[in-house]
Structure 1
Amino acid sequence: MTGLAIAFLILSITIVWGGLVASILFLRSRPEPAEYPPGGVDDHREDIGPAERDT
Structure 2
Amino acid sequence: MSTEAILMMIVAMLIIWGGLIVSIVVLRARPERTDLPSGGQDDHRQDAGIIEHDT
Q: Name the TM-score, length of structure 2 as normaliser.
A: 0.70
Identity %: 40
5 Å-filtered alignment, 1:21-32, equals: 21-32=21-32
1:1-55 mapped onto 2 (5 Å cutoff): 1-37=1-37, 42-47=38-43
**Larger helix proportion of the pair:** 2
Q: Which has the higher contact order (CA 8 A, sep 6+)?
A: 1
The count of residues paired between Structure 1 and Structure 2 equals: 45
RMSD after superposition: 1.8
Q: 5+ residue gaps in structure 2?
A: 46-55
Runs of 5+ consecutive residues of structure 1 not aligned to the other structure: 50-55
